[in-house]
Structure 1
Amino acid sequence: MPDLEPTLAARLRRNDDGLIAAVVQQHDTGQVLMMAWMNDAALHETLTTGRATYWSRSRQELWVKGETSGHRQWVREVRLDCDGDTVLVKVEQEGPACHTGSHTCFDDGPIEAVVGRAPGTTAR
C-alpha cells in the first residue's frame, strides 16, 4: 500500500498506538455522526478512494464504513486540526452512522452539566 504524502505524514501526531482520532460530520448539516480511529493506512485509503476507512482497535484491521452494513460514508472533505492529532472527515452518510441503528452515535441525549455563559450574555 502506498504511503501518505510525506508533508502530511510529517504533520500527524499519532498516539502511542500509531492512531489519530477521526471526528465524522455530515457535510451539509454539520451534525457530528461518530468518532473513530485512523492509522496511516486508513487515512491514505480515505483520501484516495472517497470512502471513509478506519482502524478497528478490536479487530486490529482496516474497515471501510458500510462495507458490511451498507451504511456507507462518501468523503466530501478531510481536514487536519491545528495539533495534527485529529482529522475532521466530512461525509455524505448513507443510512445510519451508528452501529445501534441511530443516525448519529450521539443520539443518547445530553449529559446533565452546568451550562456556562460568556460574561455579558443573557440566557436563551
Structure 2
Amino acid sequence: MSSATLPSDIADRLKRDENGLVAAIIQQHDTGEVLMLGWMDDEALTRTLTSGRVTFWSRSRGEYWRKGDTSGHEQHVKSVAIDCDGDALLVRVDQIGAACHTGHRTCFYTDISA
C-alpha cells in the first residue's frame, strides 16, 4: 500500500487497524440508505477526497479500486465524516446504479432479524 500524506488534522484523528486501514461506511446522501462497507488507507482516502469519487483498498485483491470504474456504478462523494473514535468514516455519496457487486442497490439486503 502507498502512504499518501493526508492533512495532519485528518491523519492524526484516524485510528487505523494493524494493516493501516479504516472502515468506510457508504451512505446515500439524500435518503440515508446504507449502501456498503469498504476499507481505506491514507492513499484511498486522499484519492476519495481529491477526486470526488470513492476509492477503496481491496483487501482480497491487494490493490486500489475506484467504485464504478468497471461496473459503471459510480459513487460521487457529497461529504466525508470521521466518527467520534476515529476508527470509521462515513462517506455520503450519490450512488449511480447498484452499490453491491451482486447487482443489488445495497449490500445490506439480507434481513436476519427474528
Gaps of 5+ in 2: none
After superposing on structure 2, the runs of 4+ consecutive aligned residues of structure 1 that deviate more than 2 Å are: none
SS class of match (1:84): coil
One-letter code of the match for 1:38? M
Q: Which residue, 9, 15, 18 being the options, matches 2:17?
A: 15
TM superposition score normalised by structure 1:
0.87
Partner of 1:111: 112
Is residue 4–residue 42 contact of structure 2 (8 Å, CA) maintained in 1?
A: no
Q: RCO (CA 8 Å, sep 6+): is it higher in 1 or 2?
A: 2
RMSD: 1.1
State which of 92, 100, 103 in structure 2 corresponds to 1:90: 92
Say if 2:73 and 2:98, in contact at 8 Å, map to a contact too. Answer: yes
Task: Provide the rounded CA distance (Å) in 1 between the counterparts of 2:90 and 2:54.
Answer: 11
Larger Rg: 1
Corresponding residue for residue 32 of structure 1: 34
CA shift for structure 1 position 112: 2.7
Question: How many residue pairs align between the two structures?
Answer: 112
